[in-house]
Amino acid sequence: MQRKPCEPIQIVQTPAPGLVLHLPADMDAVTRAFVLDNVEALTEPLLPWGRFRQPVLLQTVADAEALQERLVLPSHAELRAIAALDRVVFWPPADPDALRLLLVHELAHVQCFQRCTPPHGRVPYLPTWFREGLALHVAQGRPDPLARRPLARHRDLALLPNANDALVARDPIATYALAAHMFTAWHDRFGTVGLTGLYAAMRQGHPFATAFQRACQQRLNEYVELWLAAVRREAKTA
């Protein structure tokens, strides 16, 4: 995953605070042109979510198999991209709108990683509901509140907030839907102050659950259980 020191890159300044994109020489021409023509559209959704701390390398691959080869651990999920602390590796979709959403989603992951990772440390564990929910919220906005009611009847509802690779692969629609709704509800309640406090505690080396309790004054497990209970009650009264 490391870029060779001699590999030529094109440096692209963006409106997002601290975000500098690095485009390698071997990036396919169509995707390069798209990024250069759409810098503002790609970065505008990221503006309210904080500052990037280092440049981000955008690397393209030719197909799903090539993307899987870049993974540290194998995945059963149908991936289109991989985000890390300093890069996004992705298989570009042909549709421009799909490509824009993909890049904003993955850049939101990188922004989150850079804000929560301790100096000289590794990207910490983030539960699926938070990691994917934040990226979905940034890229696609608020989900329809009515769309969360069917989640109450999902057989794996209690597992979805911390969905592992197997569950994501088996039911990506429900996994991502729950993540979007759960993060949006959390952000509505705790806002920028909660997010900043959470990131600050994680950069100090605290695991997510401890950082969550410090920032939100509530145990993580309690919050998850109460949110799931509210979804179940809402479905019963609908």
Per-residue pLDDT tens digits for 213-235: 999 999 999 999 999 999 999 87
Domain identity same for 169 and 227: yes
Q: Which residues pair with 182 in a beta bridge?
A: none
The last residue of one of the domains, among 92, 116, 140, is 116
Amino acid identity of residue 206, one-letter, is: H
- pLDDT tens track for 89-134: 999 999 999 999 999 999 999 999 999 999 988 999 999 999 999 9
How many domains does the chain contain in total?
2
Domain identity same for 159 and 224: yes
Amino acid identity of residue 214, one-letter, is: R
Q: Which domain holds residue 216?
A: 128-237
Conformational region of residue 52, where left means phi above 0, alpha means psi within -120 to 50, and beta covers everything else: beta
Tell me whether residue 168 is in a domain: yes
The pTM of the full predicted model, rounded to 2 decimals, is: 0.94
Domain identity same for 111 and 57: yes
The last residue of one of the domains, among 73, 88, 116, is 116
Tell me whether residue 197 is in a domain: yes
Domain identity same for 95 and 160: no
Tell me whether residue 212 is in a domain: yes
Domain identity same for 132 and 211: yes
Pure H helices in 38-171: 39-43, 64-69, 96-116, 128-140, 165-170
